[in-house]
A and B are shown apart, each in its own frame.
Chain A
Amino acid sequence: MRLRYSDVTPRSQYLNRRRFLAGLLAAAPLARGAKLEAAKSPLSTDEPLTPYRDVTTYNNFYEFGTNKDQPARLAAKFRTSPWTVKVEGHVAKPREFDIDSLVKLAPLEERIYRLRCVEGWSMVIPWIGYSLAALIRQVEPTAKAKYVAFESYYDMGQMPQGRYAGIPLPYVEGLRLDEASHPLAILCFGLYGEMLPNQNGAPVRLVAPWKYGFKSIKSLAKIRFVEKQPPTTWMLSAPHEYGFYSNVNPEVDHPRWSQARERRIGEFFKRPTLKFNGYGDQVAGLYAGMDLRKNY
């Protein structure tokens, strides 16, 4: 039998140790690995969770390398404090939030969502956060605001792998304002009861579970309310392969591979992919009358 570190040191103990160290450093309440209290949510799925280890060691975060195991190693020293998120554009109350005030903006909820990657695999992850709508209400978008543009933090010094990513950085994404205001879309600060590990997009990321994972931008630095559809990184990189909406859709294939099925991490057989990743009841109305083949 092989021992892992987690077999030797119980999880509660190493979390304690981290909290102790965090206390020594008089760090912000959002120290890495710190616990986050969150209420249960009726929007959660009851499907079995993907193990913590898989969620935190199999990551697409190209700023820290294009191999899935790289972000867990190469983001270990990423500085997420101090951290600010600038909210600007067509809003009545533009504001720069520091992360500690942002996390307290609304009550935290645990949202257990399916995550479907455009590559054909999926997970079930207990995220912690609150609906992005809560932030949107605070800054009061004006009538001109039709879209929300998101931008990731990018620092070549801390993210030297970024230059090999093959995509333009900083990473940018976007949602229509009504998509961003949908209760399922969350600003996410944690997973599995603790602060987001760096490789999962610390200290704050977006999660929009009915869209392919790459829409759920990580390590958010800027949110801008705009009038026109903003550019997104994968559209800039390969416009014929990635569209603005990128809703999970088994009927519309990626030009290079089928999207009809997916491999749920931990399962042997592939399972059929559900339209809107199974969130159709909630979100299909956002796209009423739209040709989803054209608006992929």
Chain B
Amino acid sequence: MASPLSGKWSKVAVFLLCLAPFFSLVWRGFQQELGTNPIEHVTHATGDWTLRFLLITLAVTPLRELARQPQLIRFRRTLGLFAFFYGSLHLVTYLWLDQFFDFSAIAADIVKRPFITAGFAGFVLMLPLAATSTAGWIRRLGGKRWRMLHRLIYASAAAGVIHYYWLVKSDVRLPLVYAALLAVLLVYRLAAWLPSSAPRVSLSRK
């Protein structure tokens, strides 16, 4: 029996699920239910979802290996692109609703404020990944080089977590949760690269 994960509609379902936080924001925005400081709410929500989607994307490989669900790979590009989507919304919120496109102030912020520098770096690192996410680019670059390039997601996620950690005033519990999750996901990969580690379950599609 075919797993529901490889079903025809599963990709559509995942796509719609990924859009749910966005529609929730839009809906509550129209209902004027984003709280006392709606712009702050949108800024935080889009930032949170960027980090969550980065971590979910990074969880695909460990999950397909540990849960023996190789077909999960079908969703990885969608998940990664949604990290980029929410990251773009987060950036636009900052550029527009926080800075009102005052580009000299924005440039000063990026240079002067480490948490903005980190956040901006995290976004810039996602750009080549989003741009080369198509099958055509995988072909053009070749699988090996494409995979090398896409390891930039590790740096992007790390920059995102640092961005969050540096911006909170005193209660660092949530940034530390994100940091811990990211650490687990990165250590998993590190363990796999170490020559002494046990051979991995091979899931390459042949």
Contact = CB atoms under 8 A, between A and B. Distances in A.
Interface of A: 2, 53-54, 57-58, 62, 66, 68-69, 119, 121, 164-167, 237-238, 256-258, 263, 265, 268-270
- Mostly, the A contact residues are loop
B171 A68 contact: no
Contacts of B40: 121, 263
A257 B36 contact: no
Given A62-B170, A165-B170, A257-B113, 11 more contacts: A58-B36, A62-B171, A66-B169, A164-B171, A165-B171, A166-B170, A166-B171, A237-B170, A256-B115, A265-B36, A265-B37
B18 interface: no
B105 A258 contact: yes
A258 B109 contact: yes
Nearest to A238: B170
Interface string B71-109: 000000000000000000000000000101000010001
A155 B171 CA distance: 19
B39 interface: yes
A256 B35 contact: no
A180 to B, nearest CB: 25
A260 B36 CA distance: 21
A268 B170 CA distance: 27
B37 A121 contact: yes
Contacts of A53: 36
A53 B172 CA distance: 28
20 contacts: A2-B31, A54-B36, A58-B36, A62-B170, A62-B171, A66-B169, A66-B171, A68-B35, A68-B37, A121-B40, A165-B170, A165-B171, A166-B169, A166-B170, A237-B170, A256-B113, A256-B114, A263-B40, A269-B100, A270-B100
Interface string B36-56: 110110000000000000000
Nearest to B105: A258
B55 to A, nearest CB: 21
B24 to A, nearest CB: 16
Contacts, number: 48
Interface in B127-143: none
Most buried by B among A167, A238, A258: A258
Interface of B: 31, 35-37, 39-40, 98, 100, 105, 109, 113-115, 166-167, 169-173
A69 B35 contact: yes
Contacts of B36: 53-54, 57-58, 68, 265
Contacts of B167: 256
A167 B109 contact: no
A68 B44 CA distance: 13
A268 B40 CA distance: 11
A167 B39 CA distance: 26
Given A58-B36, A121-B40, A265-B37, A166 B105 contact: no
A164 B115 CA distance: 22
A215 to B, nearest CB: 15
Nearest to A242: B169
Given A68-B36, A263-B37, A164 B173 contact: yes
B25 to A, nearest CB: 17
B128 to A, nearest CB: 28
A68 B40 CA distance: 11
Contacts of B100: 269-270
A263 B39 contact: yes
A57 B172 CA distance: 22
A75 B169 CA distance: 21
B21 to A, nearest CB: 18
A58 B105 contact: no
Given A256-B115, A265-B36, A269-B100, A166 B31 contact: no
B99 to A, nearest CB: 9
Contacts of A54: 36
Nearest to A59: B36
Given A68-B36, A263-B39, A265-B36, A166 B172 contact: yes
A239 to B, nearest CB: 13
Most buried by B among A2, A53, A270: A270
Contacts of B166: 256
Given A2-B31, A257-B113, A269-B100, A66 B39 contact: no
A217 to B, nearest CB: 16
A165 to B, nearest CB: 6
A53 B32 CA distance: 14
